[in-house]
């Protein structure tokens, strides 16, 4: 097995390879003067299972295209099977057509990942609200793992919470709030969110009793921070 890290996953690839007693395969990337990306895989991958680790936050278009180059390259070099690991998976939020003419980007990206030769995919806390499972969109095996219990374990070991309550800032986040609360042995609840635009949200309480308690807010994605800010304001109100 070979572990490769793209520009968005080199450090994680090295750490995972070390855990498996392997050394991450080097990938050389640079740019031509016109901006095109050059890519070269530094080892023989013929007849190997290849795991490509690529987080695609902040530069999703560029890092996705780099993944396509990587995947197609190792397949062309004779790799037996390619497994994608996306710690952060962009475009999952755009899983429906809300207004006429909109791109359903989640499905487009899924098709591209399949067509380039990805055999299986793993992601962590994919931002999918209306899709029940990642496998409902992908034709290949697709696994949406969660880090909520691990993050809750860290909080439990490092933060002294009094009468803790775990809060999700919207209904979709209840799945993570519930998982974290179970680890902490705490109550959990969610707020109700109404999105007023790409960067503005309105949040109101549901049946919350946070007065005098320490609150842990948990969600799957922070893009602008607007949701978390509004949730904190609501929770701090007298």
Mean per-residue pLDDT, 91-109: 91
The whole-angstrom separation of Cα 41 and Cα 50 is 12
Cα of 3 vs its chain's centroid, Å: 19
pTM: 0.86
Contacts by 95-98, CB closer than 8 A, 24 or more apart? 95/128, 95/129, 95/130, 95/131, 95/137, 96/130
Q: Which CATH architecture has domain 148-236?
A: 3-Layer(aba) Sandwich (3.40)
First to last CA, the chain: 56
pLDDT tens track for 189-209: 888 767 777 767 676 667 667
With residue 205 as reference, give the H or E element that holds it.
none
Give, in order, the Cα–Cα distances in Å from 23 to each of 10, 74, 76, 112: 12, 17, 22, 29
> Exposed, middle or buried, 175 (CB in 10 Å: 0-12/13-18/19+)?
middle
Average of per-residue pLDDT values in the chain: 91
Active site residue 193: yes
pLDDT at 118: 98
Range(s) within the chain of domains with CATH label 3.40.50.2020: 2-145, 148-236
Mean per-residue pLDDT, 203-219: 81
Q: Please tell me the CATH code under which domain 2-145 is placed.
A: 3.40.50.2020
pLDDT at 106: 93
pLDDT tens track for 29-82: 999 999 999 999 999 999 999 999 999 998 999 999 999 999 999 999 999 999
The whole-angstrom separation of Cα 193 and Cα 110 is 28
Query: Which residues is 79 bridged to in the sheet?
Result: none
Mean per-residue pLDDT, 110-137: 88
**For residue 182, what are the contacts with CB-CB under 8 A and spacing of at least 6?**
149, 152
State the catalytic residue, choosing from 111, 193, 200, 236. 193
Q: Positive or negative, the Cα torsion across 10, 12, 15, 21?
A: negative
Cβ(75)–Cβ(109) below 8 Å: no
Exposure class string for 179-188: b at 16+ Cβ within 10 A, else e: bbbebbebbb
The larger pLDDT score, comparing residue 150 to residue 208, is at: 150
For 110-162, where are the E strands, in sequence order? 120-124, 142-145
pLDDT tens track for 126-148: 886 666 678 889 999 999 999 99
């Amino acid at each position: 097995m070979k572990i490769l890290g793209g520009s968005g996953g080199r450090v994680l690839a090295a750490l995972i390879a070390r855990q498996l007693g392997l050394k991450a395969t080097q990938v050389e990337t640079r740019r031509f003067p016109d901006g095109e990306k050059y890519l070269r895989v530094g080892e023989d991958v013929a007849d190997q299972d290849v795991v490509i680790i690529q987080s695609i936050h902040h530069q999703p278009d560029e890092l996705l295209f780099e993944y396509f180059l990587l995947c197609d390259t190792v397949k062309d070099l004779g790799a037996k099977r390619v497994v994608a690991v996306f710690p952060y998976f962009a475009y999952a939020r755009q899983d429906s057509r809300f207004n006429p003419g909109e791109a359903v980007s989640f499905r487009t990206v899924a098709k591209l990942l399949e067509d380039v030769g990805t055999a299986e995919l793993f992601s962590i806390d994919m931002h999918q609200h209306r899709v029940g499972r990642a496998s409902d969109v992908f034709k290949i095996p697709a696994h949406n793992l969660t880090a909520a219990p691990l993050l809750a374990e860290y909080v439990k070991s490092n933060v002294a919470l009094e009468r803790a309550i775990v809060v999700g800032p919207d209904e979709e986040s209840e799945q993570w709030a519930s998982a974290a609360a179970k680890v902490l042995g705490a109550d959990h609840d969610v707020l109700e969110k109404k999105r007023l635009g790409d960067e503005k949200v309105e949040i109101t309480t549901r049946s919350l009793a946070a007065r005098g308690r320490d609150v842990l807010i948990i969600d799957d994605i922070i893009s602008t921070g607007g949701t978390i800010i509004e949730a904190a304001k609501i929770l701090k109100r007298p």
